[in-house]
Amino acid sequence: MDDHFTFARFWRCALQVNPFSYQGAFRGSDHGFDEAQYNEALLEKCLAHDVKVVGIADHGSVASVDSLRKVLEPKGIVVFPGFEIAANDKTHYVCLFSEDTGTQQLERYLGNLDLLDPANGVRPSRLSSEHLIDKVDQLGGFIYAAHCTQDSGLLKNRLNHVWTLPKLRAAQIPGALEDLAGIESDFYRRVLKNNDNAYKRERQVALINAKDVAKPADLEQSGATCLIKMTRPTFAAFKVAFLDPASRIRLNSKVAKNPIGRVLSMAVTGGYLDGLKVNFSDHLNTVIGGRGTGKSTLLECLRFAFNLPPKGKQAQKLHQEIIKENIGRAAGRVELVVVSSAQNGKQYTVSRRHGELPVVRDVNGDVSTMMPRELLPGLDIYGQNEIYELAQDEASRLQLLDRFLPQDRNYEQNRLDAQKRLKENQLKFVESLSELDDVSSELNRLPNLEEQLHDYETLGVAEKLATTSLLARERVLVGTAKDSLQSFENALADLRRAIPDLCFINDEAIEGVPDRDALVAMRGVLESLKVDFETNVTEMEVFIAGSQAQFTIEHDAWLLAVQEHDRDLEKELRKLPDTAGKSGQEIGAAYQILQGDIERIRPLGAKLPGHQKQRERLEQERRNILAELSDLRSLRVDALQKAAKRLTRKLDGKLRIEVVPEADRSPLVAYLLGCKLEGIAEKRLAWIEEQETISPSLLVASIREGSVMLQLEWGLTPLVADALAKLQPSQIMELEALELEHRVDISLNVAHGNAEPLFRPLNKLSTGQQCTAILHMLLLDNIDPLFMDQPEDNLDNAFIAERIVTELRDAKTNRQFLFATHNANIPVFGDAEWIGVFSTEENRGCLEFEAQGSIDVALIRDQVARILEGGREAFIQRMEKYEF
């Protein structure tokens, strides 16, 4: 067995191919070929349409089997020789036999079937359908009901007692099952779906397309072939496929697409798995073997190559130990070939040597800048007992749901933008409040200062220092003038910085775009505008520089004049008489300071309305942004709740998912604790969790009303209410902007069988039930693979057989799975396409090519029975004791 046959795949099979003489003998027409030409033409059609298995089935004759087999087999096409035969009730059947069955043996089989006239293939056998089916089975052959819905067909003849025979495993229909809808009052479709009580079977009949191929061109028709899953196309594997037709038989109308993201192959160099080479199936892969043979090492090596750290702490520790012992000591290397879901099905090679980061190469061998996890972003890998560990951690459990909930990029972008604007508003608001407080505080001083000024006037100081108030006003005006000049400079600098760089629309950027001429024209407009803009800015810079120079001259002249005034005042101060123990000079100096303060504060009264309007504008802006965020959250909650309902429907009674809006109050508790309120510890905030409903905005509204309102509306103690009422404006605004997280409640249906559903929340489930819920979520739709070590841990066999395996059989058609397991249900009932049987040899794990395949390979089947069932004897003993 070479590596081409290490996992089961669908092979195209034409199971009713007739030799060259059939057309003339039974159709009354000439296809225009002699036997050699016919056989070569048939070979060409087989190769062109990828037909790998041919069943030869002439009417009651095997004369041409060898000549056709000699042409097909050298080209790799497997031939199942056989014949078509009619029972004594005139119902037609096709009988096929092993690929190594010779013509003489086939003649003996025909003889055993009691044909009325061996020389005439259309004459029926003396055997009834029941005896014919039983006889072919005894001979080791395979029999199916030919054209069962047409003349001489089993269903057309209404032989329900034959249809229900367990040894009849397959029936041929002309095309898709849906094509039979409504025909004969929908009789055929009812029977084929096993919905007709008179034709009810314990196991449904496998439906195949196997149209009579009378000439090579017939192979082009979809009804001439079907797909049968086998590791290697052999008659033994062919018969095994019909034991599980739901997994292994496909009509052309039911062909499943391969999963998008998948790992194609794996190779290990160095370490415990040195020399390992695996070609994985696109569907269900399982690793079995005794303890310590390398099953877990295989999974952890995959994780190592993808550089995906385990989610649980214990799992991380185990992963590091396994990699260190089995890869690290030998500086081993793991190489994977993957098909990337994120890169639209492109193929890459991922390699990683111990002590180094992974390297990703494309199909040309060029090293990519991407990381392995970017190739398969939805890849899930879980080590031994990691599911158990996740079941104990609420945050980790909830993260599992992320990929199933809507990821609205517009929502996230809009939310971040609104939060950014809210933060900017808060900074401006706090600054505005501070400025308003400063102005108000200064204006509140003015009456007192003016009263003090009046006292000085009674002393006659004002008359002697008449110019003091005027000079004070001058200084305030000059200071404001300098600030104004600086404002012009700042505004111009902002204009200069605002000029855009147009390299985004250069020749390289627009190369190859369909409307290049339009973009060139737009660029021309922008370039012209930029030139004019820069010219005007430059002119304004020159103008401001000139104005600044002129202003400096005038300012210097003013300084000289002020200095002269100050000297005159100094003379007058010395003339002032001493009063109340203060020298005249001290009194005059205090008067000057007082006048300066008054002249500086009086203009602030004109600014007060501006500050108040700015505060009102910022308040309105804040209300608008908070309302915008509220609307966004409402839309998000609605989307999440709808997604949860869809998810619940998809889980079909297994799990129930509910989104509880803003139910996680821990951010509110954490924020208030971070405010370091006096006398407030975590226990004094227990009221937050006790409230039936709570939101930061409602709480802030009460805080602004004061301590009494907090006590009345929230039932707070005076201590807590007083502490909250003392929050600073900036803290209140941060609290108002706080967003509480939504909670996702997960409930598991713990009822068995057909009992009424009984849902219990995750936090009230046993560990095994929590693991069950998690596995249900992991098996949900995902285009990337799921790899898991011993998923059966903490689960009972009944659950695995009833639920997990059933879901796996359906999910594996669209997703790749890999499980290391000790449970027979997963590889056997799950019908794993690839089973790898690990063993040990010279202190290393071995997985030879011969130990890879599906259950249809005798060696694999024996190993599965030995390792997972305890061997044939143990299995039989259990079956006898169960009285099955």
CATH number reported for the structural domain that contains residue 832 in this entry: 3.40.50.300
Please report whether residue 714 resides in a domain. yes
**Are 293 and 816 contacting, i.e. CB atoms less than 8 angstroms apart?**
no
Give the pLDDT confidence score for residue 712 in this predicted structure: 92
Please give the average per-residue pLDDT across 559-583, as a whole number.
73
**Are 58 and 107 contacting, i.e. CB atoms less than 8 angstroms apart?**
no
| Residue 240 and residue 286 share a domain | no
Which string of DSSP letters, residue by residue, matches 427-445? HHHHHHHHHHHHHHHHHHH
* pLDDT tops 80 at residue 257: no
Shortest CA distance to 145 belongs to which of 204, 85, 186? 85
Amino acid at 336: L
The backbone torsions φ and ψ at residue 712, rounded to the nearest 5 degrees and listed phi first, read -70, -45
Amino acid at 837: V
| Residue 480 and residue 430 share a domain | yes
Report the distance separating Cα 505 and Cα 527, nearest Å. Answer: 10
Ranking 174-178, 295-299, 412-416 by mean pLDDT, the lowest is 412-416
**Are 601 and 442 contacting, i.e. CB atoms less than 8 angstroms apart?**
yes
* pLDDT tops 70 at residue 642: yes
Shortest CA distance to 422 belongs to which of 673, 625, 724, 194? 625
Give the pLDDT confidence score for residue 118 in this predicted structure: 63
Q: Which of the pair, 387 or 72, is modelled with greater confidence?
A: 72
Decide the pairing of beta strands 78-86 and 51-59: parallel
Expressed as residue numbers, the domain containing 831 is 282-379+784-855
Ranking 522-531, 682-691, 762-771, 840-849 by mean pLDDT, the lowest is 762-771
Beta bridge partners of 226: 13
CA distances 753 to 694, 746, 750, 757, 803, Å, are: 41, 21, 10, 9, 10
Report the distance separating Cα 235 and Cα 139, nearest Å. Answer: 13
Please report whether residue 656 resides in a domain. yes
Q: SS3 of 292, please?
A: coil
| Residue 626 and residue 607 share a domain | no
| Residue 421 and residue 293 share a domain | no
CA distances 336 to 215, 268, 764, Å, are: 45, 9, 41
Please give the average per-residue pLDDT across 456-484, as a whole number.
73
Which string of DSSP letters, residue by residue, matches 730-769? HHHHHHHT--PEEEEEEEEE---TTSPP-EEEGGGS-HHH
Ranking 120-129, 300-309, 409-418, 723-732 by mean pLDDT, the lowest is 120-129
CA distances 829 to 462, 725, 787, Å, are: 108, 66, 18
| Residue 839 and residue 737 share a domain | no
N- to C-terminal Cα separation, the chain: 36
**Are 229 and 247 contacting, i.e. CB atoms less than 8 angstroms apart?**
yes
Tokens read off for 249: 């038989």
Please give the average per-residue pLDDT across 605-619, as a whole number.
82
* pLDDT tops 50 at residue 88: yes
Tokens read off for 631: 């609307």
Give the pLDDT band (50/70/90) at residue 583.
Answer: low
| Residue 216 and residue 323 share a domain | no
Give the pLDDT band (50/70/90) at residue 835.
Answer: very high
Beta bridge partners of 81: 56
Highest mean pLDDT among 104-118, 292-306, 594-608, 775-789: 292-306
Please give the average per-residue pLDDT across 100-127, as a whole number.
83
Give the pLDDT band (50/70/90) at residue 2.
Answer: very low
* pLDDT tops 70 at residue 659: yes
Report the distance separating Cα 790 and Cα 385, nearest Å. Answer: 8
**Are 585 and 576 contacting, i.e. CB atoms less than 8 angstroms apart?**
yes
| Residue 819 and residue 708 share a domain | no
Provide the domain count of the chain.
4
Tell me, yes or no, if the pTM score tops 0.75: yes
What angle, 0 to 180 degrees and rounded to 10, lies between the N-to-C axes of helices 584-601 and 516-575?
A: 150
| Residue 654 and residue 600 share a domain | no
Q: Which uninterrupted H or E stretch holds 187?
A: helix 187-192
For residue 679, the tally of other CB atoms under 10 A from its CB is 10
* pLDDT tops 70 at residue 579: no
Model confidence pLDDT, tens digit, residues 8-62: 999 999 999 998 887 766 665 777 788 999 999 999 999 999 999 999 998 888 8
- 837-874 in b/e burial notation, b at 16+ Cβ within 10 A? bbeeeeeebbbbeebbbbbbbeebbebbbbbbeeeeee
Q: Please count the CA atoms within 13 angstroms of the CA of 686 that sit on its side-chain side.
A: 3
Q: Which uninterrupted H or E stretch holds 55?
A: strand 51-59
Model confidence pLDDT, tens digit, residues 697-744: 999 999 999 999 999 999 999 999 999 999 998 898 899 989 888 888
Longest CA span, the chain: 155
Give the pLDDT confidence score for residue 340 in this predicted structure: 95
CA distances 162 to 131, 153, 691, Å, are: 10, 12, 70
Give the pLDDT confidence score for residue 444 in this predicted structure: 86
What angle, 0 to 180 degrees and rounded to 10, lies between the N-to-C axes of helices 65-72 and 35-48?
A: 40
Decide the pairing of beta strands 284-289 and 817-820: parallel
Give the pLDDT band (50/70/90) at residue 1.
Answer: very low
Report the distance separating Cα 638 and Cα 631, nearest Å. Answer: 11
Report the distance separating Cα 295 and Cα 845, nearest Å. Answer: 9
Please report whether residue 768 resides in a domain. no
Query: Which residue stretches of 29-158 are H helix?
Result: 35-48, 65-72, 103-112, 129-138
CA distances 495 to 498, 500, 531, Å, are: 5, 10, 14
* pLDDT tops 60 at residue 641: yes
Give me the numbers of helices (H) and strands (E) for the chain, helices first please.
32, 24
Highest mean pLDDT among 348-352, 512-516, 739-743: 348-352
Model confidence pLDDT, tens digit, residues 175-220: 999 999 999 999 999 999 999 999 999 999 999 999 999 899 999 9
* pLDDT tops 90 at residue 150: yes
Report the distance separating Cα 253 and Cα 226, nearest Å. Answer: 9
Amino acid at 604: L
Please give the average per-residue pLDDT across 526-548, as a whole number.
93
| Residue 570 and residue 524 share a domain | yes
Please report whether residue 773 resides in a domain. no
Ranking 302-316, 382-396, 529-543 by mean pLDDT, the lowest is 382-396
Report the distance separating Cα 702 and Cα 721, nearest Å. Answer: 10
| Residue 789 and residue 727 share a domain | no
Q: How far is CA 655 from the centre of its chain?
A: 19
Examine the fold and report which residue of 746, 771, 803 is the final residue of a domain before the chain moves on.
746
* pLDDT tops 80 at residue 752: no
Give the pLDDT band (50/70/90) at residue 776.
Answer: confident
Give the pLDDT confidence score for residue 437 in this predicted structure: 79
Please give the average per-residue pLDDT across 460-486, as a whole number.
76
Report the distance separating Cα 872 and Cα 859, nearest Å. Answer: 13
Please report whether residue 775 resides in a domain. no
**Are 237 and 137 contacting, i.e. CB atoms less than 8 angstroms apart?**
no
Q: How far is CA 566 from the centre of its chain?
A: 79
* Beta strand spans in 423-551 (E): none
CATH number at residue 128: 3.20.20.140
Query: Nearest 5 degrees, angle CA 873-CA 877-CA 883?
Result: 145
Examine the fold and report which residue of 208, 239, 254 is the final residue of a domain before the chain moves on.
254
Please report whether residue 276 resides in a domain. no
Ranking 55-69, 96-110, 581-595, 643-657 by mean pLDDT, the lowest is 581-595
Q: Which of the pair, 880 or 384, is modelled with greater confidence?
A: 384
* pLDDT tops 90 at residue 168: yes
Give the pLDDT confidence score for residue 28 in this predicted structure: 59
Shortest CA distance to 716 belongs to which of 692, 693, 687? 687
What angle, 0 to 180 degrees and rounded to 10, lies between the N-to-C axes of helices 584-601 and 467-498?
A: 40
CA distances 38 to 27, 31, 33, 57, 787, Å, are: 16, 9, 5, 16, 49
Please give the average per-residue pLDDT across 274-299, as a whole number.
93
Mention every residue, 6+ apart, whose C-beta is less than 8 A from residue 522. Answer: 505
Q: SS3 of 835, please?
A: strand
Q: Which uninterrupted H or E stretch holds 87?
A: none
Please report whether residue 116 resides in a domain. yes
Tokens read off for 132: 């014919």
Ranking 136-145, 548-557, 874-883 by mean pLDDT, the lowest is 874-883
| Residue 148 and residue 37 share a domain | yes
Please report whether residue 494 resides in a domain. yes
Give the pLDDT confidence score for residue 464 in this predicted structure: 56
Give the pLDDT band (50/70/90) at residue 526.
Answer: very high
* pLDDT tops 60 at residue 499: yes
What angle, 0 to 180 degrees and rounded to 10, lies between the N-to-C axes of helices 103-112 and 65-72?
A: 140
**Are 306 and 337 contacting, i.e. CB atoms less than 8 angstroms apart?**
no
Shortest CA distance to 383 belongs to which of 311, 327, 335, 284? 311
Q: SS3 of 730, please?
A: helix
Please give the average per-residue pLDDT across 237-251, as a whole number.
95
Shortest CA distance to 306 belongs to which of 370, 385, 395, 398? 370
Examine the fold and report which residue of 588, 613, 638 is the final residue of a domain before the chain moves on.
613
Report the distance separating Cα 513 and Cα 805, nearest Å. Answer: 51
Q: Which of the pair, 790 or 98, is modelled with greater confidence?
A: 98
Give the pLDDT band (50/70/90) at residue 639.
Answer: confident
| Residue 346 and residue 421 share a domain | no
* pLDDT tops 90 at residue 320: yes
646 exposed, middle or buried (CB, 10 Å; 0-12, 13-18, 19+)?
middle
Q: Which of the pair, 390 or 42, is modelled with greater confidence?
A: 42
Q: Which uninterrupted H or E stretch holds 527?
A: helix 516-575
